[in-house]
Structure 1
């Protein structure tokens, strides 16, 4: 077992309080802190700590030094010797980019294509930095707002009509005349490829329509969508991603709820704190709401325009003892939430884990004591995690405080964990 200190990623959309508070650091932090990585991704492997709290090595190096003991033969053979998942705490105070991730076949083809073209791996205009796909699951720990998946086109037609913006009429007609995935593809493609002069006219008209509708005093089923387009338009006044946001499901997750985003799902996280787990990849195709590289043709190649209801992308939950397991089809990861009661008065104060393969337990509240069978306990406070390798004995996890909450990530035994 190894105590892990996560690596902070200081992106501009991050929070100055959430991750610093979780780690027991001064608040506010000097810079926005967007993500806290617990994994073995080459761009930011977690740090392994010695018992005295000093840095030892990083998790990637530790795995490379003893891959069979750390990962197990099944994981090595299935995932080419890599830890197949990356676990993060994500803290968004501002919207992330509008983005999607490729399928495994698309990622391999794109990676090979860019290699053959001589595009450097670290080039800012590179789309595929590895040959892996990136399905992901986000579980809210606070209220969490997101855009995810194309909304039913018939409902989107209602939203566009409610704006009563004459400049939208040609585009409204495109979707009303073909309210299906092909209509969505045509409208989305048209908006993302509009000339700057058209964007400079259309977006202000849409924002004015949203202001008028919200200020009318009449209730609207699209209040959240209209407020979101106004917020995005204020930050990105000439970005066609503002228009694209009108086509997506506007979702609010309550704490404990999760979204599973497979390949091709267009999404943008807006605000909130959550635990994110994904396949261990860095492949992102962006469509807007960002100053970073945008490749519209490549994004269109990977997008799935099939409309999806919110229920279809909400991760179902199965309770297994003290665990709330989030069910997904991803073979790279399984995520569960565990809450322990140190007083023993309300629910379990300990849990035993005996599943083989690599595991990471990340503590979000309180502390836990992790004891291998026949060994000494290791205390893990909030903001840190513990690595349990395949060769480790079974462990018992006790609450180290009156209330302890942690998330458990592992490689599932089957297609749905």
Structure 2
């Protein structure tokens, strides 16, 4: 599966500093010190109802992570998956009377278009669950051989008790885990499981549903969590720098994935930091596919909204915050974009050297994009009120905003 084209990232004078970011597992800020190549895995979409603003906010957060790393003169090895076979996708295809493969391909193509328009840097490896199946099967077999998996009526489950570190990503108690498991794709009430929280690794073939030859596992398809583990281990290995996604993935997805990987390898942790973006609401409710209260990037683009304004609307909120999309949020972003473009359109202006460092400082401090926007706002206000004589300043501001915030002026 191919990703989308990369926009050029301008080089800035000087060099950025190491990123301090909130780690869900420890509950506090950690300073990331990757080697020459920083490694990040971000969980991708299940391809239906793409791309809504909740998606866009999540991928914007991890695009900022990449940009901070690039500014430290590191390379970035970024991997993202596509869950192109899963119950919600199959249910949507059946509801709409369309082929599930065609639906997945159509929505993935739309996602690529939206990511390109928003200038999100693409992953080096963009892997679908279906294409990962040949690598998933031996991992499930190994877990079974290790005594960490068991058969239940043909389905293969992972035993969470096989990982002594289970629970150390989300830090939730058993009752909270059980509740979220039921809400987020698990089956804690299934009779016969060793532990209600045990997640499925391999689902035996069901009539009328797609399945693949799983060798000794029989025909079926993979569970949700092992899919990402197989892809991450294959392309990044253990101990990579950031595991990212929305806050609703901390449990069960990232918790279970970490346990799978840790049992498979005998190493801990799977990732140096587990980083989660907040949720976006509309009309007082979390924006979600199940509720249908979605604002789509593609629809805004069709309505003539500049993608740079959409990106500024996302950047106006701290990535960890839960916030609500409104018409005013978008209008504020459109107005800001207009002010910034007017400010950099002049041939000279106030010195921007300090601005570069202000934006860097804001972003290295837990991706504080609102503080970065405020710094650019102050420069634009000085440009409007006082002007300046530095002929390189407007260009430097444009490059800074492009390189670090992904907004083309």
Q: Calculate the TM-score normalised by the size of structure 2.
A: 0.27
Please state which structure has a larger fraction of its residues in strand: 1
Q: Calculate the TM-score normalised by the size of structure 1.
A: 0.26
Please state which structure has a larger fraction of its residues in helix: 2
